[in-house]
Amino acid sequence: MPHSNLRARRPARPLLYLLPAIGLLTIFFLGPIIVNGVIAFTDMGENLRVGKFTLLNFERILQRDARIPGVLLTTLIYVSATLFFFNVGLGALLAMATTAIPPRLGGFFRGLWLLPRMSPAVLYGILWIWIADPTPSGLLAQVTSVFGLPALNLRNDYPLFLIILANGIVGASFAMVILTSAVRSIPAHLSNAARVDGASEWGVLRHVVAPALSQPIRFITIYQALSLMTTYEYILLITGGGPVYDSTPYALYIYRRAFENGAYAYGAALALGLMVIGVVFTLVQWRITDMRSTFAAPRIEVL
């Protein structure tokens, strides 16, 4: 075959393939960040007019907003408890439990647990309002009445516990799916070899299963922590952030200041603060856990 017919074509420049993604990121990600940053340095109010550029919004955050410390404490409790007890802890427990039972039964159980995540947020919120309703028609009130206990008003008396529980139940499904895949990826002969060598089930769990889960758990921790810090729809639907601000995390506080009080510029400044908190948390977590090893092949120990 003539060499002239084998002329190699120059491949298209990779940038051409990236242009659609770059355009979408610019419009829907970088654009809103820039607009938010500009608004944060203005005095925009509910009339949506900009009178002047100012630093008063940031001065108000640092010095004059007495609710900020309480909101930050609520955010810390909410994110930490939901993350470690449910989004990671319960998710890992569900993954190991549903892989230890017959596959069809485990798949059916995981499907049931995923239903709240696939349901509209409004439907899930209404479900928890019905559960926590202190009247005789509420589910929890019906259960307590069977044992002769007084009805609990979770929305008023324990709102922070309620939003942790509601967000944790639906959030555990994310870790359950990812960690189930991690458990299934462990070669069966490793567990069998450990048992032949005399390892107990706890030893198999500690030296075979746990090393395979450690790296996915690092990713889940970072991803879910950032998600919990920035989302608030379930809280808004179930408690509205109340009573007063008792169940208002930082993200919902931004919403209430901006859209309920009409302080759009102040809300934008608070949103910049949330971005800073998220970036600092990610960098610290990245430094502590060494994310380069998170996406490396897991090291599984067999004793």
pLDDT digits (tens, 9 = 90+) for 126-138: 999 999 999 988 9
Average pLDDT, the chain: 86
Q: What span, in angstroms and rounded, lies between the C-alpha atoms of 235 and 33?
A: 24
pLDDT exceeds 70 at position 6: no
CATH of 51-294, picked from 3.90.220.20, 1.10.2020.10, 1.10.3720.10, 3.40.50.300, is 1.10.3720.10
Tokens at 22, concatenated: 């770059």
Predicted confidence (pLDDT) per residue in 140-187, tens digit: 999 999 888 888 899 999 999 999 999 999 999 999 999 998 888 888
Predicted confidence (pLDDT) per residue in 84-105, tens digit: 999 999 999 999 889 888 889 9
CA 112 remoteness from chain centre:
20
Domain borders along the chain are 51-294
Tokens at 94, concatenated: 């569900």
Per-residue pLDDT averaged across 15-20, rounded? 83
Res 299: pLDDT: 54
Instruction: State which amino acid sits at residue 62.
Output: L
Res 76: pLDDT: 94
Q: What span, in angstroms and rounded, lies between the C-alpha atoms of 194 and 175?
A: 26
Predicted confidence (pLDDT) per residue in 25-84, tens digit: 889 888 988 999 999 999 888 887 887 888 989 998 888 889 999 999 999 999 999 999
Predicted confidence (pLDDT) per residue in 237-293, tens digit: 999 998 989 999 999 999 999 988 888 999 999 999 998 888 888 888 777 766 555
Per-residue pLDDT averaged across 186-209, rounded? 79
Residues facing residue 53 across a β-bridge: 42
- CB neighbours of residue 52 within 10 Å: 8
Write down the pTM of the prediction: 0.84
Name the band, by pLDDT with cuts 50, 70 and 90, for residue 302: very low
Tokens at 157, concatenated: 């008396």
